[in-house]
């Protein structure tokens, strides 16, 4: 057994420190060590109390997620928790970093909890398609009441130490950086004051009050129906908290365990755990070692203060990196700066930003009309109109202005980065940083590696992405990189189904029922049909609708009709225009089964993903899942298109693609990799 903990005596107080990097996850060795050392402390007559602390960056971040799906090994976390809670000596949790999931559940079994101000505490199991399985759904309601517990556990978001103190989850806030010292002082006071062995499980007042409001659970279900749609874990959490209120503690614990096992055995938990690890794996570049030296990024230049340029700038201002933003005209510059300030003021109004933080960020923003002012920037990101000649001109100028060693990046969403790099004398320092709009909100950042991009530049971009809170996915150079290219397959099929006599609401409903927040045609109406495809001259349904004055929601009608409250309803006028367009194109009309609609919309996305993989544009199938989940809100409970395809069965995907190939030609031919995997009974996950 690896030594993952130690017990040190400070007079009559023992400090039990877990030391299991990187996050003190409660794997088998840690569970065994906890039982061993707590039993030792209990047996030692000199010890009056135990402080449970963790070494490294954080208090325990929960169960070891990598153990899920593998054969269970005793002791389980429930046994450890029970042992702590029934200890004959006071046990105090000393919390720093993030006490999450099972880590917080262990702390809840301690008799008291002390935390440093920077600590954060939460039960994020819902993000893994699970629920707290070590008593969290039974103990938290006893501390904060069922209503707050419902929010806290189905939301999964951690709270600060001071908020946890307010809620009664934490008893004492320690001095930052002096946790063990503060904890020792706190425990001495507890001992001197004859503090009882207080067990959270014995606190009945709050749940007794909750018993008077049985309707609160169904009210919560109704008000969260949209957010919880298609996901199993939230409803199971509600049931577990209902059990906490309705049943005696032990029965409630048993009910929680039953619900936990049900979720853990289900596909959604497997999918969301896949997504959790896939996101972290995506940051690792196969031929760029993790210890590759990175280049400094102390100041950033942004060329273009439009929607994208402004949003990109905000990412760096948010983490204290100064930004020099350049425009060609003062009016554009003023508008861009004003938009950035307005976005921060919205956060201020929502209580997500303080006034001084807002001003501090704005003070780091330097606006200029002169590219020469970027001469000292370590990284310059171009975010101008998608025109290759324009980008080449700008990169040539940046190359002349930027200091030696500066990285030049383009935010292009589909243009050839290699061609852009060739406009400079430093192609090895040119990279793509493709942000997704809104750039200050969407988590995906596609890091586009050119043929000449140097490894330290790749390493710098991947690390910088995490620093600004983005999820990086490395992409090779192709039209649309990963997420846009894969999603285009769905868009094309949706447009074709529309012309083959499927209504916008039938297509949107299939996508919505699959788990997306909104279908493609509702989205187009929201964005505005006059905006879509305005650069192309080719006739399209959207152009025909615009020609008939149907711009989408903003004009009261697009693919749908909208009432004053912007509620959508099917539109006969839109259908007439769509049918006329289909007739003009000579598209045969036909009907489709529900199952066929989903297959025709989403199997081509999987096939495109297989091509992206076999062309080496993406390093891994799971990277494609991350890009789609983080860039297009692909329903995380499916694991992403490639994980989902493995669950559907690749032969089924091949079958759909062959039917589409017969109907639409070789563009729909099943990819070679997909066919190989299907025929050999393998999966994308086996790659
Ligand atoms: N188990 C196993 N590995 C974990 C882990 C965990 N709980 N948490 C993180 N890691 C790995 C991660 O894969 C990465 O590995 C490294 O640690 C650093 O992570 C019974 C059922 C704690 C906020 O959901 O939110 O308890 O890539 O890159 O950005 O009721 O990790 O280096 O090889 O994310 O500093 C509930 C999940 C579990 C917390 C740190 N707990 N972790 O963020 O580092 S289920 C969670 C996080 C449970 C009980 C239930 C974050 C973090 P590698 P990182 P970070």
Task: Give the closest residue (by CA) to ligand 1 atom 51.
Answer: 61
Are the C-beta atoms of 134 and 153 separated by less than 8 Å? no
Return d(Cα 435, Cα 438) in angstroms, integer.
Answer: 8
> Has residue 172 got a pLDDT over 60?
yes
- Is 280 a pocket residue for ligand 1 (Cβ < 6 Å)? yes
One domain, residues 184 and 231: yes
Report CA(91)–ligand 1 centroid distance (Å).
25
Average pLDDT estimate for 477-487: 97
Residue 200 counted as domain residue? yes
> Has residue 607 got a pLDDT over 60?
yes
Residue 510 counted as domain residue? no
- Is 65 a pocket residue for ligand 1 (Cβ < 6 Å)? yes
Atom of ligand 1 nearest to the CA of 128: 24
Report CA(232)–ligand 1 centroid distance (Å).
21
One domain, residues 228 and 314: no
One domain, residues 546 and 433: no
Note the pLDDT of residue 72: 86
Q: Report pLDDT digits (tens) over 497-542.
A: 999 999 999 999 999 999 999 999 999 999 999 887 677 788 999 9
Report CA(64)–ligand 1 centroid distance (Å).
8
- Is 629 a pocket residue for ligand 1 (Cβ < 6 Å)? no
Report CA(57)–ligand 1 centroid distance (Å).
12
Range of the domain at 541: 525-585
Domain end call among 544, 562, 585: 585
- Is 382 a pocket residue for ligand 1 (Cβ < 6 Å)? no
Average pLDDT estimate for 195-200: 96
- Is 61 a pocket residue for ligand 1 (Cβ < 6 Å)? yes
Atom of ligand 1 nearest to the CA of 280: 27
Give the C-alpha distances (Å, rounded to integers) separating 508 from 18, 519, 552.
Answer: 50, 4, 15
One domain, residues 241 and 309: no
- Provide CB contacts within 8 A for 388, sequence distance 6+: 415, 416, 419, 420
Record the pTM: 0.96
Average pLDDT estimate for 379-402: 97
Note the pLDDT of residue 595: 87
Burial class (CB in 10 A: 0-12, 13-18, 19+), 335: middle
- Is 427 a pocket residue for ligand 1 (Cβ < 6 Å)? no
One domain, residues 68 and 184: yes
Task: Give the closest residue (by CA) to ligand 1 atom 55.
Answer: 23
One domain, residues 179 and 321: no
Note the pLDDT of residue 2: 66
Classify 162 in phi/psi space as left (phi over 0), alpha (psi -120 to 50) or beta.
alpha
- Is 124 a pocket residue for ligand 1 (Cβ < 6 Å)? yes
Average pLDDT estimate for 166-186: 96
Average pLDDT estimate for 547-573: 95
Report CA(61)–ligand 1 centroid distance (Å).
6
- Is 102 a pocket residue for ligand 1 (Cβ < 6 Å)? yes
Model confidence band, residue 576 (pLDDT cutoffs 50, 70, 90): very high
Domain end call among 558, 585, 612: 585
What percentage of the chain carries pLDDT values higher than 90? 97
One domain, residues 326 and 396: yes
Average pLDDT estimate for 315-323: 98
- Is 14 a pocket residue for ligand 1 (Cβ < 6 Å)? no
Domain end call among 539, 565, 585: 585
- Is 100 a pocket residue for ligand 1 (Cβ < 6 Å)? yes
Tokens 């999966």 belong to 683
- Provide CB contacts within 8 A for 617, sequence distance 6+: 475, 476, 477, 478, 481, 482, 485
What is the distance of C-alpha 57 from the center of its chain? 21
> Has residue 114 got a pLDDT over 80?
yes
> Has residue 554 got a pLDDT over 60?
yes
Residue 473 counted as domain residue? yes
Residue 202 counted as domain residue? yes
- Provide CB contacts within 8 A for 406, sequence distance 6+: 377, 378, 379, 380, 429
One domain, residues 458 and 549: no
**What's 173's domain CATH number?**
3.90.226.10
One domain, residues 335 and 233: no
Atom of ligand 1 nearest to the CA of 130: 21
Q: Report pLDDT digits (tens) over 427-476.
A: 999 999 999 999 999 999 999 999 999 999 999 999 999 999 999 999 99
**What's 306's domain CATH number?**
3.40.50.720
Report CA(88)–ligand 1 centroid distance (Å).
32
User: Which of 18, 30, 62 for a ligand 1 pocket mutation test, highest count of atoms within 8 Å of Cβ?
Assistant: 62
Residue 566 counted as domain residue? yes
One domain, residues 53 and 183: yes
Task: Locate the DSSP E strands across 145-286.
Answer: 159-160, 172-173
Task: Give the closest residue (by CA) to ligand 1 atom 23.
Answer: 98
Task: Look at residue 8 and give its three-state secondary structure.
Answer: strand
Domain count, the chain: 3
The set of long-range contacts for 527-530, using a CB threshold of 8 Å and a minimum separation of 24, is 527/552, 528/552, 528/553, 528/554, 529/558, 529/559
Atom of ligand 1 nearest to the CA of 466: 29
Return d(Cα 74, Cα 351) in angstroms, integer.
Answer: 45
User: Which residues are annotated as catalytic?
Assistant: 105, 125
One domain, residues 76 and 214: yes
Average pLDDT estimate for 582-597: 92
Residue 174 counted as domain residue? yes
Note the pLDDT of residue 456: 98
One domain, residues 247 and 367: no
Report CA(63)–ligand 1 centroid distance (Å).
9
Residue 322 counted as domain residue? yes
Residue 452 counted as domain residue? yes
Atom of ligand 1 nearest to the CA of 133: 30
Note the pLDDT of residue 356: 96
């Amino acid at each position: 057994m690896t030594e993952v903990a130690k017990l040190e005596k400070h007079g009559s107080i023992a400090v039990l420190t877990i030391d299991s990097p990187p996050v003190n996850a409660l794997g088998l060795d840690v569970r065994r060590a906890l039982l061993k050392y707590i039993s030792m402390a209990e047996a030692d007559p000199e010890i009056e109390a135990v402080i449970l602390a963790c070494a490294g960056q954080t208090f325990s971040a929960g169960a070891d997620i990598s153990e899920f799906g593998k054969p269970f090994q005793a002791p389980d976390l429930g046994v450890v928790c029970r042992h702590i809670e029934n200890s004959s000596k006071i046990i105090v949790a000393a919390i720093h970093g993030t006490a999450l999931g099972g880590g917080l559940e262990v702390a809840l079994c301690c008799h008291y909890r002390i935390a440093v101000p920077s600590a954060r505490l939460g039960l994020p199991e819902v993000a893994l398609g699970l629920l707290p399985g070590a008593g969290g759904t039974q103990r938290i309601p006893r501390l904060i009441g069922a209503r707050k517990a419902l929010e806290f556990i189905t939301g999964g978001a951690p709270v600060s130490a001071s908020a946890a103190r307010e809620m009664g989850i934490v008893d004492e806030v320690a001095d930052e950086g002096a946790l063990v010292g503060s904890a020792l002082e706190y425990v001495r006071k507890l001992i001197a004051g004859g503090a009882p062995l207080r067990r959270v499980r014995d606190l009945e007042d709050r749940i007794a009050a909750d018993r008077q409001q049985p309707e609160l659970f169904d009210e919560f279900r109704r008000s969260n129906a949209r957010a919880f749609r298609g996901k199993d874990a939230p409803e199971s959490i509600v049931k577990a908290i209902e059990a906490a209120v309705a049943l005696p503690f032990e029965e409630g614990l048993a009910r929680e365990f039953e619900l936990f096992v049900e979720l853990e055995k289900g596909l959604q938990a497997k999918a969301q755990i896949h997504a959790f690890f896939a996101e972290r794996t995506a940051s690792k570049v196969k031929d760029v070692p993790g210890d590759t030296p990175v280049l400094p990024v102390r100041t950033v230049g942004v060329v273009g203060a439009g929607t994208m340029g402004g949003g990109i700038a905000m990412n760096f201002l948010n983490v204290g990196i100064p930004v020099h933003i350049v425009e060609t005209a003062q009016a554009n510059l003023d508008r861009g700066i004003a938009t950035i300030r307005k976005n921060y003021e919205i956060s201020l109004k929502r209580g997500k930003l303080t006034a001084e933080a807002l001003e501090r960020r704005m003070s780091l923003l330097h606006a200029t009309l002169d590219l020469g002012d970027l001469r000292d920037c370590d990284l310059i990101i171009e975010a101008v109109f998608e025109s290759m000649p324009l980008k080449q001109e700008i990169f040539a100028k940046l190359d002349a202005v930027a200091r030696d060693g500066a990285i030049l990046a383009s935010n292009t969403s589909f243009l050839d980065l290699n061609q852009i790099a060739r406009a400079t004398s430093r192609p090895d320092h040119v990279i793509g940083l493709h942000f997704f709009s809104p750039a200050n909100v969407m988590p995906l950042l596609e890091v586009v590696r050119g043929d000449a991009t140097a490894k330290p530049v790749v390493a710098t971009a991947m690390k910088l992405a995490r620093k600004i809170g983005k999820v990086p996915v490395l992409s090779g150079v192709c039209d649309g990189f990963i997420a846009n290219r894969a999603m285009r397959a769905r868009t094309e099929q949706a447009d074709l189904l529309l012309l083959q006599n499927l209504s916008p609401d039938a297509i949107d409903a299939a996508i919505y029922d699959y788990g997306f927040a909104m279908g493609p045609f509702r989205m187009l109406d929201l964005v505005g049909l006059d905006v879509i495809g305005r650069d192309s001259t080719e006739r399209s349904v959207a152009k025909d609708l615009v020609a008939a004055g149907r711009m989408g929601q903003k004009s009261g009608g697009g693919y749908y009709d909208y009432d004053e409250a912007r509620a959508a309803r099917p539109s006969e006028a839109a259908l007439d225009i769509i049918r006329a367009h289909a007739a003009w194109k000579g598209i045969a009309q036909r009907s489709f089964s529900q199952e066929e609609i989903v297959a025709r919309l989403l199997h081509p996305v999987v096939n495109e993903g297989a091509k992206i993989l076999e062309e080496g544009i993406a390093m891994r199938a799971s990277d494609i899942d991350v890009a789609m989940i983080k860039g297009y809100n692909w329903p995380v409970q499916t694991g992403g298109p490639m994980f989902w395809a493995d669950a559907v069965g690749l032969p089924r995907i091949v079958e759909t693609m062959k039917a589409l190939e017969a109907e639409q030609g070789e563009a729909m031919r099943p990819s070679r990799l997909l066919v190989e995997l299907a025929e050999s009974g393998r999966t994308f996950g086996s790659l």
